[in-house]
Copies of this chain bind each other. A is one copy, B any other.
Amino acid sequence: MIRPAELIERKRDGGQLTAEEITELVFGHSRGEIPDYQLAAFCMAVYFRGLSAEETLALTNAFVRSGSTLDLRSELGRTVVDKHSTGGVGDKTSLVVGPVVAACGVPFGKMSGRGLGHTGGTLDKLESISGFRVELSNEEFVAQVREIGLAIIGQSPDLVPADKRLYALRDVTATVDSIPLIAASIMSKKIAAGAEGIVLDVKVGNGAFMKSLADARVLAESMQELGRGAGRRVVALLTDMDQPLGWAIGNAIEIEEARAMLTGAETPPDLFSLAIQAAGQLLALSDLSIEAAEGIKRAEQAVDDGSAAELFERWIAAQGGDLSAGLPTAPVSRELTADRDGFVGEVSALGLGRVALELGAGRRTTDDAIDHAVGIRCFAKRGDPLEAGQTLAVVYGRDEAGAGRALEQIQQLIGIVDEPQPPRPIVLETLA
């Protein structure tokens, strides 16, 4: 029997652990034989010393093997695809990508998280819809993917329990922000959930975990390697999160925005660009045997011809959601306008996310309840020309006081400058 303290010490001193030792740490922890405090110290040592590619793979495999796994190929006889985002402000991409991909005939099956953040996770957003069920059994999940080509549900509790346990510990010990630990956690979930083609949307910028393109690239490449080690095809998009994605930041208003984009009613250009590129890559990873360029073309077509919008409706209905009931709306809305002519400078994703959190759109702790109705629509995108009086943002709040406070804060978060700004592309790099 290995002594956990010796493994912690070796990692602390910059040494390497064998795959067996990593596995024993994870399984010992799961069995309750290695206490939380030793894993906590280990994770902090990893924060400072990192993990090698071999160690990260061993950790990922241990997470996967700790629970049950889905084999969607056997179940469906098809290549099922999935998309994962590392999380950002206003990120409703999956709500667009899923219907687009499914409308193109490729099964999309995603298990998603709630997570702590400035706004809810994809599941919280979906729960804005009256009656929507995020908790399906594995059988229901598979059946729905077979039937309509699309399901997005909460992570099955019997998948990667060791990751769940360790993540809960990392969350309260300041050891979340470690690239190898993030990579292993994400990829173990993706691998266990059974999709064979995976697009990773790795966010970069002040509103994301990864603040620099270099860090994002390291994380993306590590995740690609882990996925390939498990026989998956993985493409990573490194995408901008210095400013929010799309216009809506909240829960119900993000559902509304995704739906409006699919019907063509409203099209934030950055969200459209990202969703179409992600969908195109997913189609290229599927069993359609097409290139990404062709995938992108088909994805655009599915939006244009309304088939993606139609699939969105069928999907929501299939999971019990009733869109005819309307989405919750906030009692108070307040508008922020430009006080002068100019151009939009920096628009802080992090800052806007924090304001949304304060409005009640997100969770500070796992016990917090989310207010699905509140949020922000921020129309200002870096480089946009502005005229005095033009609407920059709208706040949706619970009450006048909160909305007023939010408006004041947002005013500080949207820069107005005199010189034209170069617009930033939403997809910074594609790692195929």
Measured CB to CB, the residues of A under 8 A from B are 4-6, 8-9, 12, 35-41, 43-45, 47-48, 169, 171-175
Q: Report B-chain residues with C-beta under 8 Å of the C-beta of A8.
A: 44, 173-174
Q: Report B-chain residues with C-beta under 8 Å of the C-beta of A48.
A: 44, 48
Knowing A35-B36, A36-B36, the reply to whether A175 touches B41 (Cβ < 8 A) is: yes
Question: Please, could you name 11 A-B residue pairs with CB atoms under 8 Å apart, sorted by A?
Answer: A5-B171, A5-B172, A5-B174, A6-B174, A12-B174, A35-B37, A37-B39, A38-B172, A40-B40, A41-B44, A41-B175
Measured between alpha carbons, how far is A350 from B374 in the docked complex, in Å?
65
Smallest Cβ distance from A5 to chain B, in angstroms? 5
Q: Would you call B44 and A172 a contact (CB within 8 A)?
A: no
Q: Would you call B37 and A174 a contact (CB within 8 A)?
A: no
Q: Report B-chain residues with C-beta under 8 Å of the C-beta of A174.
A: 5-6, 8-9, 12, 41, 45
Q: Would you call B9 and A169 a contact (CB within 8 A)?
A: no
Measured between alpha carbons, how far is A44 from B9 in the docked complex, in Å?
10
Smallest Cβ distance from A168 to chain B, in angstroms? 10
CB-nearest residue of chain B to A44: B44
Q: Report B-chain residues with C-beta under 8 Å of the C-beta of A36.
A: 35-37
Q: Report B-chain residues with C-beta under 8 Å of the C-beta of A173.
A: 5, 8, 37-38, 40-41
Measured between alpha carbons, how far is A38 from B172 in the docked complex, in Å?
7
Q: Report B-chain residues with C-beta under 8 Å of the C-beta of A47.
A: 12
Measured between alpha carbons, how far is A299 from B48 in the docked complex, in Å?
49
Q: Report B-chain residues with C-beta under 8 Å of the C-beta of A5.
A: 171-174
